[in-house]
Amino acid sequence: MNKPSAVIEEHWINVTEGRHRLWLVRPAGSGPFPAVVWNHGSQVWYNEDGKLEDHCEEPQIVGDGWHWKSWAEQSGYLILIPEGRGYAGSDGPRLSDVLYSPTGVMDFLAGRSEDVEAAVTWLLSRDDVDKDRLAMTGISHGGVVALLASARQRYAATIIQGTGPWYQRADVGLDILQKAAAHVKGPLLVQHFLTDSLVPVEVSRYIYEAAKEAERDIQLCEYPGTPGVEGHFFHDPRNRHEWLDDHNRFLARRFACPK
């Protein structure tokens, strides 16, 4: 007999800017499940010719989303993926409107952090969510979003990866990131590749130092990476093996003792 598989649900919620798109990846069963909120990156990157490509219209779930379903099936976690303002059909301002303004980008990401709080409120209204075991995670721009959100509300765990608001610069929004790190409410894992040529590893180090100075529960993991593989791309199969065990152990430990 085949094991029941995870399912992917598409939802829309009302926010100040209009309607936002959410994806919910739900394991088989009735729960309540531990839940992970995953915040995506900028969806803008340099191609091989050095030109910026804008993929903001592309949804986070494409096709049957097998890799998301596989994670939900193996972990037993419910996964919430907010598209965020201006992404994949969600209403609101777009990153392209502020792409070359450091202050504009930080304001945009602060807005995304408010958006994710609205998504969390919606998530916690569901009966299949274990409200004491909720993690906030994010990569790149999504790491900024997760950090800002976790400075305002306590989560059982927060994980940020390759975090930073601006390519090739560590100074943009640094004071805001450090202030957020000093006010983080729960345990925080910071992950970064030394081979990340897009977001400097110094951003994660500044976040770590600010949190440590404020006596927050924080862990920094730096990874050597593979020569010739872009370290910013955490989900490249050639990178995943370096960080995945730390990520999974951190979540499992915090979900076991959420308070």
Which tops the pLDDT comparison, 88 or 49? 88
Q: What angle do CA 32, 137, 250 make, to 5 degrees?
A: 75
- State residue 1's pLDDT score: 44
User: In percent, how much of the chain has pLDDT > 70?
Assistant: 97
Residue of 40 and 63 predicted with greater confidence: 40
Distance of alpha carbon 82 from its chain centroid, rounded? 10
- The pLDDT tens digits of the residues spanning 74-112 come to 999 999 999 999 999 999 999 999 999 999 999 999 999
- HSE-CB at 174 with a 13 A cutoff on CA atoms is 15
Q: Give the closest residue to 166 by CA, choosing from 200, 125, 116, 122.
A: 200
- Exposure class string for 21-40: b at 16+ Cβ within 10 A, else e: bbbbbbbeeeeebbbbbbbb
Check whether domain 7-45+54-256 has CATH 3.40.50.1820, yes or no: yes
Containing H/E element for 97? Answer: none
Q: Which residue has the higher pLDDT, 187 or 96?
A: 187
Per-residue model confidence (pLDDT) at position 112: 96
pLDDT value of residue 157 = 97
Pick 31 or 250 by higher pLDDT.
Answer: 250
Mean pLDDT of all residues in 244-258 = 93
